[in-house]
Amino acid sequence: MKKIALFVVLSICFSCQREIINTKISGPVFGTSYSIQYYSEDTHDVKKACDSLFEVINQSMSTYDSSSIISKINKNEDVEIDTHFKTVLEASKLVYRHTQGAFDPTIGAVVNAWDFGPEGKIENLDSVKVKEMMRVVGLNRVGIVNNKLQKPEIIKMDFNAIAKGYGVDVISDYLESKGVKDYIVEIGGEIRTRGINKEKGTQWVVGVEAPRFDGEQSLMNTIVIKDKALATSGTYRKFKVDALGRRYAHIIDAKTGYPSQTNLLSISVIADNCTLADAYATAFKTMGIEKIKRFLETHSELQVFLIFENEGKEIESLTLNGFPE
């Protein structure tokens, strides 16, 4: 009888074992693309769930959708914010305080003026106009009262420098809520991983792109990311040219109101979540190498990789706080 009972128990255990499925999905989102790879026993429709989550995030903070919450706020309409908006605002305020305003989502009107947003174009923009717009910039002027954003009417919010990273976190958290322990989520180059790549039996390996002005893509190096997030900000791809042929980088200096002018070409940041990694990568673009070094002395939770031009116009790189090599 004992042998029969043991056989029955073993049979039940073996029948409970399910195949681990390697799933890969991808598609367009946020004006770029996403890719997800994960391992799970569950066969639920992750792509449909992800597309729904992307739509909700877009409806919350896309400045390119006139019906979104952020667009209505920028038109000074009476609208309540949602959980996504509130979470990103809180993360933005944290980075705003830590970087002394180097990261500031209230720069929306200035972004439009330099033609990097959904409404603007470079036209008769001079120092007087820039100074006037910058007069009201400051995330410290923004708050939440009765689930509504309170701000000066002239301020236009812009979460585009943090939204991709936040989207990565939302999808990653969703996968973890479904019991997924091994995954990599990427949106427009921003990445978060957990566990291992079971297909290859290795840690997740990701590439750091080399800055190239010819539009081609090549890797500077590859690194291992374990249970962390990686975001990169650079100026070598996205820029505008005015009527005089002058080139402007797409990252606006929140202190001056002008496109960032620096020898930094690319900043990659590793953090515990992609929301913060994305925001800090943007902030560091306007801070310069020496300020970044000093900042990281008191922020050991961040690992940073810088690519820059030296005085001889040669490409150099610098790893800080143990960024993997």
Give me the torsion for CA of 139, 144, 145, 150, rounded to 10°: 40
Q: In the prediction, which pLDDT does 269 show? A: 98
Q: In the prediction, which pLDDT does 136 show? A: 72
pTM of the model: 0.85
Q: In the prediction, which pLDDT does 220 show? A: 81
d(CA 27, CA 301): 32
Only one residue has tokens 């091994």, namely 182
- Interior CA angle at 34 toward 30 and 36, to 5°? 145
Q: What share of the chain is helix, strand, coil (3-state, %, to 5)?
A: 30, 25, 40
Q: In the prediction, which pLDDT does 263 show? A: 77
Give me the torsion for CA of 184, 186, 190, 192, rounded to 10°: -20
Q: In the prediction, which pLDDT does 244 show? A: 57
Domain parsing of the chain, residue ranges: 21-320
Q: What is the percent of the chain with per-residue pLDDT over 70, rounded to a whole number?
A: 76
pLDDT tens track for 263-282: 788 899 999 999 999 999 99
Q: In the prediction, which pLDDT does 9 show? A: 44
pLDDT tens track for 59-108: 999 998 999 999 999 999 999 999 999 999 999 999 999 999 999 998 76
Q: In the prediction, which pLDDT does 231 show? A: 97
CATH class of the 21-320 domain in this structure: alpha beta
Closest among 284, 20, 54 to 168, alpha carbons compared:
54
Q: In the prediction, which pLDDT does 138 show? A: 85
d(CA 252, CA 261): 9
pLDDT of the chain along its 325 residues, tens only? 444 444 444 444 444 556 789 999 999 999 999 999 999 987 678 999 999 999 999 999 999 899 999 999 999 999 999 999 999 999 999 999 999 999 999 876 666 666 665 555 555 666 767 676 667 778 999 999 999 999 999 888 989 999 999 999 999 999 999 999 999 999 999 999 999 999 999 999 999 887 765 566 677 889 999 999 999 987 655 555 555 555 555 566 666 766 766 778 889 999 999 999 999 999 998 888 999 999 999 999 999 999 988 888 888 999 999 999 8
Q: In the prediction, which pLDDT does 41 show? A: 84
